[in-house]
Amino acid sequence: MDPVNVIILAVGSELLTPFHQDTNSLYLTRRLNDLGLDVSEKIIVGDEFENLGKAFRKAREEADLIFVTGGLGPTDDDRTREAVSSVLKRPLEFREDILRTIEERFLRRGKTMPAANRKQAEVIRGAEVLPNSAGTAPGLWIEDEAKIIVLLPGPPPELQSIFETQVRTRLAGRERAFLVRRVLKTSGLTESEVESLIEGLYPRDPARRLTILASPGQIELHVSAFSGVSAAEAERQADALTSELGRRLGPAVFSADGSDLETVVGRLLSARKETVAVAESCTGGLVCRRLTRIPGSSTYFREGFVTYANQAKIDRLGVPARTIESFGAVSPETAAAMAEGVRHVAGADYGLAVTGIAGPSGGTAEKPVGLVFCAVADAEATRLEHSLFLGDRTRVQDQSSQKVLDMLRRFLEEKSSR
Amino acid sequence: MDPVNVIILAVGSELLTPFHQDTNSLYLTRRLNDLGLDVSEKIIVGDEFENLGKAFRKAREEADLIFVTGGLGPTDDDRTREAVSSVLKRPLEFREDILRTIEERFLRRGKTMPAANRKQAEVIRGAEVLPNSAGTAPGLWIEDEAKIIVLLPGPPPELQSIFETQVRTRLAGRERAFLVRRVLKTSGLTESEVESLIEGLYPRDPARRLTILASPGQIELHVSAFSGVSAAEAERQADALTSELGRRLGPAVFSADGSDLETVVGRLLSARKETVAVAESCTGGLVCRRLTRIPGSSTYFREGFVTYANQAKIDRLGVPARTIESFGAVSPETAAAMAEGVRHVAGADYGLAVTGIAGPSGGTAEKPVGLVFCAVADAEATRLEHSLFLGDRTRVQDQSSQKVLDMLRRFLEEKSSR
């Protein structure tokens, strides 16, 4: 019971510039996954007839199910119909009924159909027409030597409406497998630390897959499981692996439902009906921004201070001048005083503070670029951590914000589990 | 003078899920375009050894220059080196010097290198090693039967730093056509306003292209010009169109060199040796975050306050309680008092303020979600604007931050041109 081999071929020269992404394939992937179908390759080509034909020929050699998106428009550089027709050696046939539908669409908007749209009424011999209620170019469904080829227009609303109304039902029942995905997100561990903690858990059977994805301060584990029997069986398989991963990784796991760290922190604060205030130096507002990005954050986010200058740390947060004089603005002592100070000043349950050297300048031998102190204070205690982050200014800022939010997350989880 | 055929092959099973996009190819395309190289195809495959090998084999048949990104990490599912080695029939060779570099990287952070990272010291026979200063996996440059194959690590900062420092110079001089791009960035106009201002300027000859790219609060115009003759000729073509566009769009253009708004604002403030302080309500730290993302911003960014609560606006910024009582926290009067207050409190030359309703809740018939007041104060005057932004919370926040930064930009430009 092999999984169906699916390839998405996106057509459009704009997709080969620095300015545009193919987003249709994300939508198609989500919908295909729901039907138990996995995508094995995505190919993006320009509008040139020859490249397009070559890419389609290759896709047809590999895949059982091919989606070709884009290039069905009325202009000269829309060549998908012709290219597929030529590779399949099936001629294009003009369909009077489709032309009338297109003409009527223009008429309803008080316009006359431009001559260029005429070619959208051409159909590859033997194809089923997938009417397009959101635009002029119909989709095409072609069954060819046990393979299925689906041509869909590029504009997302048109592609999606054709998929929802006509492709999904045609595919349902053809799936040979059920596919389930789970995502675990962790923070506070490096990729290699995660790797060594989960050693031996890489599944050996092809029905389960595990992928690790690293970004600054966050490692994600993506689990997928197939079953030829039922969705429930695929879920059981995925859950077994996910819970073993969770057991090994322990408190480093902050989410198993795709939520990001600021959402999890917000959920914990809301559940405990507690509030937070933030004092930032080197992150310059990023921690506040992440917390307040979340709808409803005004109930738990009390206030934030971006205090670069020493005097601001003293005046706004009540950091003692002698603390900064004795230990420096980038020191555990100052971080602690900032966290305690902002908590007090803002009247919040928790105070967060970040102070460090984000770079590119300002580093010394003793306090290099990337040195960051994070602190979390509640009424009883203040937790401190120092880190030496690598990377450019933005990367140091990203990792610092992740660090302090993760400290608060762990603090809240520990308190909640007591 | 045929253009070089370039294919980008992105490796990573996460790129075949609905959750992740390949963004490295956008960066690579931009940089390759700068060198006069166009990308003819992009292929995205998962981590499975067999699929990866097949896709690389196909890419090698078509292209003269192949970028393979991702799959160079330390984990079991990082198979790019092995797959390329197998297709090229060149064995992997272990390099003691690379291992030492990786070990030292861990040591600098006070850690021991996990055994898994050892395989990152394996090099395809005959490849040049492209050292990675931002991570552990070095890139590889392979010349094979008149083709060039470049392997780059997947994390964007690592890929970008290797490209900038080592790939770009190796590629320069190999280009066979000349391509020049120019980007004009504007703010304060809608896409249709830009459209109608530049009517008639869309180039008709295929050697010049104009693309409009809209994002919240910012419309970009991308001009590209090809020449088979010389870079100077392509530049002349691009510049002629760009300057006519600039003339039509006037002060809405804030950058012609790709710089973003916060960079332009920072440059203006630095040139005038002036400082800014920020008071944010509904943007929750985003304005501060954008300003402080820029290296060197500590010289002109004075201080920031994220004041959600009314009391915080009163206590921190000196907004009169009766202003909030009479007009509400979301009002031109409060915005002005916030901007003037933060300027005064922080001792800055300019005070910026944003107050509004980012949603999704909190809107009323009179003050709906999306209503935002922005203010910019200097010693002599306070400028105020109100906007009604569409979209979800993040989109309202993005547009608001863009608005207030654009107000400051125009203010500074006017003063500088007096």
Which residues of chain B are within 8 Å of residue A42 when distances are taken between CB atoms? 15-16, 43-44
Planar angle of CA A246, A390, A401, nearest 5 degrees: 60
**Does A259 score more than 60 pLDDT?**
yes
- The C-alpha of A298 sits at a distance from chain B's nearest C-alpha, in angstroms, of 7
Of A41, A55, A388, the CB nearest to B41: A55
* pLDDT tens-place string over residues A167-210: 988 887 666 567 788 999 999 998 889 988 998 898 887 788 88
**Does B174 score more than 70 pLDDT?**
no
Q: CA-CA distance, A290 to A218, in Å (whole number)?
A: 15
Of A16, A213, A309, the CB nearest to B303: A309
Are B242 and B182 in contact, with CB atoms under 8 Å apart?
Answer: yes
- The verdict on B295 touching A (C-beta cutoff 8 Å) is yes
B65 phi and psi, to 5 degrees?
-135, 120
Q: CA-CA distance, A234 to A310, in Å (whole number)?
A: 57
Strand partners, A351: A277, A377
- The verdict on A299 touching B (C-beta cutoff 8 Å) is no
Of B45, B108, B298, the CB nearest to A41: B45
Architecture, CATH, for domain B261-417: Alpha-Beta Complex (3.90)
- The C-alpha of B417 sits at a distance from chain A's nearest C-alpha, in angstroms, of 30
- The verdict on A257 touching B (C-beta cutoff 8 Å) is no
Query: Which of these, A337, A277, A283, lies nearest to A303 by C-alpha position?
Result: A277
Query: Which of these, A180, A4, A292, lies nearest to B401 by C-alpha position?
Result: A292
> Do B211 and A17 count as a contact with CB atoms less than 8 A apart?
yes
Are A370 and A359 in contact, with CB atoms under 8 Å apart?
Answer: yes
* pLDDT tens-place string over residues B290-344: 999 999 999 999 999 999 999 999 999 999 999 999 999 999 999 999 999 999 9
- The verdict on B112 touching A (C-beta cutoff 8 Å) is no
Of B74, B211, B306, the CB nearest to A192: B74
A127 φ/ψ sector (left φ>0, alpha ψ -120 to 50, else beta): beta
**Does A342 score more than 80 pLDDT?**
yes
Q: CA-CA distance, A172 to B193, in Å (whole number)?
A: 45
Which DSSP state fits A136?
S
Are B261 and B287 in contact, with CB atoms under 8 Å apart?
Answer: no
Of B42, B46, B307, the CB nearest to A303: B307
- The verdict on A260 touching B (C-beta cutoff 8 Å) is no
Residue with tokens 């600039």: B246
Query: Which of these, B218, B194, B260, lies nearest to B399 by C-alpha position?
Result: B218
Q: What is the mean pLDDT of residues B24-38?
A: 87
> Do A62 and B54 count as a contact with CB atoms less than 8 A apart?
yes
Q: CA-CA distance, B261 to B398, in Å (whole number)?
A: 12
- The verdict on B287 touching A (C-beta cutoff 8 Å) is yes
Query: Residue B140: CB partners within 8 Å, gap ≥ 6?
Result: B81, B123, B124, B127, B128, B129, B130, B149, B150, B151
Q: CA-CA distance, A198 to A252, in Å (whole number)?
A: 12
- The verdict on A370 touching B (C-beta cutoff 8 Å) is no
> Do B292 and A305 count as a contact with CB atoms less than 8 A apart?
no
Q: What is the mean pLDDT of residues A136-141?
A: 94
Strand partners, A352: A278, A376
pLDDT the model gives residue A1: 34
- The C-alpha of A139 sits at a distance from chain B's nearest C-alpha, in angstroms, of 22
> Do A289 and B291 count as a contact with CB atoms less than 8 A apart?
no
* pLDDT tens-place string over residues B144-163: 988 999 999 999 999 999 99
Would you state the structure tokens that stand for residue A176, as one six-digit string? 């040979």
- Identity at B91, one-letter amino acid code: P
Residue of A nearest to B277 (CA): A306
Q: Given CA atoms A240, A242, A248, A250 in this order, what sign does their dihedral have?
A: negative
Q: What is the mean pLDDT of residues A79-108?
A: 94
pLDDT the model gives residue A35: 79
**Does B111 score more than 90 pLDDT?**
no
Residue of B nearest to A388 (CA): B109
Residue of A nearest to B307 (CA): A303
- The verdict on A336 touching B (C-beta cutoff 8 Å) is no
Pick B178-255's CATH classification: 3.20.20.70, 3.40.190.10, 3.30.70.2860, 3.90.550.10.
Answer: 3.30.70.2860
Query: Residue A180: CB partners within 8 Å, gap ≥ 6?
Result: A224, A225, A227, A231, A234, A235, A237, A238
- pLDDT over 90 percentage in chain A: 71
Best of A308, A310, A389, A392 to disrupt the B interface by mutation (most B CBs within 10 Å)? Answer: A308
Full 3-state SS string of B288-357: HHHHHCCCCHHHCEEEEEECCCHHHHHHHHCCCHHHHHHHCCCCHHHHHHHHHHHHHHHCCCEEEEEEEC
Best of B22, B41, B51, B221 to disrupt the A interface by mutation (most A CBs within 10 Å)? Answer: B41
- List the strands of the sheet with A382-388, edge to edge: A382-388, A371-377, A350-356, A276-280, A301-306, B301-306, B276-280, B350-356, B371-377, B382-388
Domain boundaries, chain A: 6-171, 178-255, 271-417
pLDDT the model gives residue B392: 87
Please name the helix (run of DSSP H) or strand (run of DSSP E) that holds residue B209, with its range, or none.
Answer: strand B208-215
- Identity at B304, one-letter amino acid code: G
The two beta strands, A301-306 and B301-306, are antiparallel
Which DSSP state fits B115?
G
Would you state the structure tokens that stand for residue B190, as one six-digit string? 């809608």
Of A46, A211, A388, the CB nearest to B47: A211
* pLDDT tens-place string over residues B267-280: 999 999 999 999 99
pLDDT the model gives residue B171: 87
- The verdict on A21 touching B (C-beta cutoff 8 Å) is yes
**Does B388 score more than 80 pLDDT?**
yes
Q: Which fold has domain A271-417?
A: Maf protein (3.90.950)
* pLDDT tens-place string over residues B125-149: 999 999 999 899 999 999 998 899 9
**Does B1 score more than 60 pLDDT?**
no
> Do B18 and A38 count as a contact with CB atoms less than 8 A apart?
no
Longest dimension (CA), chain A: 86
Q: Average per-residue pLDDT in chain B? A: 92
Q: What is the mean pLDDT of residues B68-87?
A: 94
Would you state the structure tokens that stand for residue A175, as one six-digit string? 């799936």
Which residues of chain B are within 8 Å of residue A258 when distances are taken between CB atoms? 19
Calculate the alpha carbon distances from B154 to B10, B21, B285 in Å.
Answer: 8, 12, 30
Of B51, B393, B397, the CB nearest to A41: B51
> What is the model's pTM?
0.77
pLDDT the model gives residue B3: 56
Would you state the structure tokens that stand for residue B392, as one six-digit string? 């979800």
Q: What is the mean pLDDT of residues B175-183?
A: 76
Are A180 and A234 in contact, with CB atoms under 8 Å apart?
Answer: yes
Which residues of chain A are within 8 Å of residue B77 when distances are taken between CB atoms? 202, 210-212
User: Within 13 Å, how many C-alpha atoms sit on residue A167's CB side?
Assistant: 28
Query: How many residues are there in chain A?
Result: 418
Q: CA-CA distance, A392 to B167, in Å (whole number)?
A: 19
Give the pLDDT band of residue A43 (cuts 50, 70, 90): very high
**Does B2 score more than 60 pLDDT?**
no
- The verdict on A344 touching B (C-beta cutoff 8 Å) is no
Q: Given CA atoms A26, A30, A31, A36 in this order, what sign does their dihedral have?
A: positive
- From the CB of residue B49, how many other CB atoms can be counted at a distance below 10 Å? 15
- A294, with CB counted inside 10 A (0-12, 13-18, 19+), is buried
Residue with tokens 């007041």: B373
- The C-alpha of A94 sits at a distance from chain B's nearest C-alpha, in angstroms, of 30
Query: Residue B175: CB partners within 8 Å, gap ≥ 6?
Result: B4, B35, B36, B37
- The C-alpha of A96 sits at a distance from chain B's nearest C-alpha, in angstroms, of 33
- The verdict on B77 touching A (C-beta cutoff 8 Å) is yes
Calculate the alpha carbon distances from B15 to A83, A180, B43, B209, B328 in Å.
Answer: 27, 16, 11, 30, 47
Q: Given CA atoms A107, A112, A114, A118 in this order, what sign does their dihedral have?
A: positive
* pLDDT tens-place string over residues A275-285: 999 999 999 99
> Do B134 and A390 count as a contact with CB atoms less than 8 A apart?
yes
Best of A30, A305, A397, A399 to disrupt the B interface by mutation (most B CBs within 10 Å)? Answer: A305
Residue A255: helix, strand or coil by DSSP?
A: strand
Q: What is the mean pLDDT of residues B168-192?
A: 81
- The verdict on B201 touching A (C-beta cutoff 8 Å) is no
- B182, with CB counted inside 10 A (0-12, 13-18, 19+), is buried
Best of A2, A289, A293 to disrupt the B interface by mutation (most B CBs within 10 Å)? Answer: A289
pLDDT the model gives residue A210: 86
Pick B6-171's CATH classification: 3.40.980.10, 3.40.50.261, 3.30.70.1290, 3.40.30.10.
Answer: 3.40.980.10
Compute the 3-state secondary structure of chain B and give helix, strand, coil in percent, each to the nearest 5: 45, 25, 35
Calculate the alpha carbon distances from A112 to A106, A109, B121 in Å.
Answer: 6, 9, 65
Strand partners, B68: B9, B151
- From the CB of residue B119, how many other CB atoms can be counted at a distance below 10 Å? 19
Planar angle of CA A406, A407, A408, nearest 5 degrees: 90
- The verdict on A219 touching B (C-beta cutoff 8 Å) is no
Would you state the structure tokens that stand for residue A400, as one six-digit string? 């610092």
pLDDT the model gives residue A135: 87
pLDDT the model gives residue B210: 83
- The verdict on B289 touching A (C-beta cutoff 8 Å) is yes
Would you state the structure tokens that stand for residue B359, as one six-digit string? 């949603």
Query: How many residues are there in chain B?
Result: 418
CA of residue B56 relative to chain centroid, distance? 29
The DSSP line for A307-360 is --SHHHHHHHH---HHHHHHH-SSSHHHHHHHHHHHHHHHT-SEEEEEEE--SS
Query: Which of these, A338, A324, A320, lies nearest to A277 by C-alpha position?
Result: A338
pLDDT the model gives residue A176: 59
Q: What is the mean pLDDT of residues B53-70?
A: 95
**Does A3 score more than 80 pLDDT?**
no
Calculate the alpha carbon distances from A171 to A65, A148, A157, A182 in Å.
Answer: 10, 10, 20, 24
Q: What is the mean pLDDT of residues B368-389?
A: 96
Are B379 and B232 in contact, with CB atoms under 8 Å apart?
Answer: no
- The C-alpha of B384 sits at a distance from chain A's nearest C-alpha, in angstroms, of 23
A211 phi and psi, to 5 degrees?
-125, 140
- From the CB of residue B291, how many other CB atoms can be counted at a distance below 10 Å? 27
Are A181 and A224 in contact, with CB atoms under 8 Å apart?
Answer: yes
Query: Residue B12: CB partners within 8 Å, gap ≥ 6?
Result: A211, A213, B20, B22, B44, B46, B47, B70, B71, B154
Please name the helix (run of DSSP H) or strand (run of DSSP E) that holds residue B222, with its range, or none.
Answer: strand B218-227
